[in-house]
Amino acid sequence: MPGNIIDQNLYNVIRISFEMLEIAARGDEFRMDSRCGAVFGKLRDAAYRVRSLAEEELSRHKNFKTGTGKG
């Protein structure tokens, strides 16, 4: 079932993106200076972007499987 493996990998990406958001929040809370804030801001931005891409891809897979899209 390669499709299941692919989807599971995408779910893992989503899970990791939530971990990235938690790290960014903790980092912002306890940062030493604005440069640290920039790092955690980039991490937060990347987490939202990666999660969005993974969710879009899962949606495409679902549409492909149900015949409502090209995948």
pLDDT tens-digit series, residues 27-67: 999 999 989 999 999 999 999 999 999 999 999 998 888 87
pTM for this entry: 0.83
Q: Which residues contact 43 (CB under 8 A, 6 or more apart)?
A: 20, 23, 24, 27
Neighbours of 17 (CB within 10 A): 20
Dihedral angle computed from the Cα positions of residues 32, 38, 39 and 43, in that order, rounded to the nearest 10 degrees: 130
* Burial label, 34 (beta-carbon count in 10 A; 0-12, 13-18, 19+): exposed
- Work out the pLDDT band at 71, boundaries 50, 70, 90: low
